[in-house]
């Protein structure tokens, strides 16, 4: 008898990127961005007994192309289906300033999830874990995220990403603080952001870590570009088994691991990349690999090392097409 596979849901946004200044050539590059980097990272790093369930809206103009992309993924669930909406898909124009800094202009009008619409999909998805990546910035509002946490008992990873960005009238994305930071933190077991995003949220890293762990985050992950990534883990947290038990809609323990002891923190250096490359999507691949290895049962430090290696491989590849295979080592360097 075939063993039933475990299932990780993915909430985020398909984005079509137009990229300027990444390559020496003058012609802009057009390719998939947004959630495709997360999906590629999961597809490469998940063990064979896991499958990916997309919980994703896509604009009518990008729907056929997005479905074609999903069919390239090895771990996509056989019942995977996108929610096509009658709005133009999200498109982002990226202009690189240097290897790590860029400006972004967003167009598209896909609305976020209501709890009623999201719950109906979760009821049918039978998920064991959930990955949330804010790529439009409004996939979930706080009330919906809180209801999601109350409803779903499994581990939830969140990359705050564009939640800390406002969109100006001309589409330019600019940093903005997040109100109710502690309330947002309480919705997730694993919380990820980069250094700039962290600086927007809190005056310093230690105050953010204290807020996050007190609110219930078991591990805070901050990516630092070429310097690697730092994590802050709740007392006693080492593997996915150390997460506090949650009981869905009924009341259950909330907050870190529930253990007393010292908070752990460490810097995991980046893996050196030879020559220039493409940094687009590195944080998404990092988080997806890290979470994949955690749900597979790896220890925290091992998952972080695997994530650093995957992010380095991502730099050596252009775009999300074929990225999962490249991360698995199936393609020569592009």
312-330 pLDDT tens trace: 999 988 888 899 999 999 8
Q: What share of the chain is helix, strand, coil (3-state, %, to 5)?
A: 30, 25, 45
Most confident of 49-58, 245-254, 265-274: 49-58
Residue 214: pLDDT over 50: yes
pLDDT at residue 101 in the model: 67
Q: Which residues pair with 103 in a beta bridge?
A: 95
60-88 pLDDT tens trace: 999 999 999 999 999 999 999 999 999 99
Question: Cα separations (Å) of 254 from 176, 217, 247?
Answer: 28, 9, 10
Cα separation of 284 and 265, whole Å? Answer: 21
Question: Cα separations (Å) of 279 from 48, 57, 95?
Answer: 28, 26, 13
- Give the chain's end-to-end CA distance (angstroms, integer): 41
> Quick one: pLDDT band at residue 198, thresholds 50, 70, 90?
very high
Closest CA to 30 of 280, 324, 315, 276: 280
The domain 6-327 is placed in CATH, from the list 3.40.50.10540, 3.90.550.10, 3.30.565.10, 3.40.1190.20, at 3.40.1190.20
For β-strands 165-167 and 190-194, DSSP reports them as unpaired
Cα separation of 288 and 320, whole Å? Answer: 14
pLDDT at residue 247 in the model: 61
Structure tokens at 69: 């992309």
Cα separation of 312 and 272, whole Å? Answer: 7
> Quick one: pLDDT band at residue 334, thresholds 50, 70, 90?
very low
Average pLDDT, the chain: 90
pLDDT at residue 275 in the model: 67
Contacts of 223 (CB under 8 A, 6+ apart): 192, 193, 194, 195, 229, 282, 283, 286, 287, 311
Would you list the domain boundaries of the chain? 6-327
């Amino acid at each position: 008898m075939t063993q039933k596979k475990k299932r990780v849901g993915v909430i985020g946004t398909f984005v079509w990127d137009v990229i300027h200044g990444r390559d020496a050539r003058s012609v802009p590059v057009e390719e998939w961005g947004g959630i495709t980097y997360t999906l590629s990272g999961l597809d490469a790093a998940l063990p064979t007994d896991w499958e990916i369930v997309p919980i994703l809206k896509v604009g009518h103009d990008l729907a056929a192309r997005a479905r074609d992309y999903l069919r390239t993924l090895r771990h996509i669930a056989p019942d995977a289906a996108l929610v096509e909406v009658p709005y133009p898909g999200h498109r982002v124009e990226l202009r690189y300033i240097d290897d790590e800094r860029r400006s972004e202009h967003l167009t598209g009008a896909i609305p976020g999830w209501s709890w009623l619409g999201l719950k109906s999909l979760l009821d049918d998805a039978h998920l064991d874990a959930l990955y949330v990546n804010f790529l439009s910035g409004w996939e979930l509002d706080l009330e919906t995220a809180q209801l999601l946490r109350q409803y779903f008992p499994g581990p939830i990873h969140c990359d705050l990403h564009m939640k800390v960005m406002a969109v100006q009238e001309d589409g330019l994305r600019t940093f903005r603080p997040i109100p109710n930071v502690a309330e947002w933190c309480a919705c997730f077991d694993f919380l990820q952001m980069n250094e700039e995003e962290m600086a927007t949220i809190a005056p310093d890293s230690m105050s953010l870590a204290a807020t996050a762990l007190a609110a219930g985050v078991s591990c805070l992950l901050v990516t630092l570009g070429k310097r690697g990534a730092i994590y802050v883990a709740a007392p006693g947290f080492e593997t996915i088994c150390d997460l506090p038990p949650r009981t869905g809609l009924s009341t259950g323990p909330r907050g870190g691991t529930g253990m007393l002891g010292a908070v752990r923190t460490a810097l995991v250096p980046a893996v050196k990349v030879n020559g220039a490359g493409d940094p687009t999507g590195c944080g998404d691949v990092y988080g997806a690999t890290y979470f994949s290895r955690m749900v597979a049962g790896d220890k925290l430090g091992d998952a972080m090392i695997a994530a650093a290696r995957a992010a380095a491989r991502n730099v050596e590849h252009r775009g999300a097409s074929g990225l999962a295979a490249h991360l698995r080592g199936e393609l020569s360097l592009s």
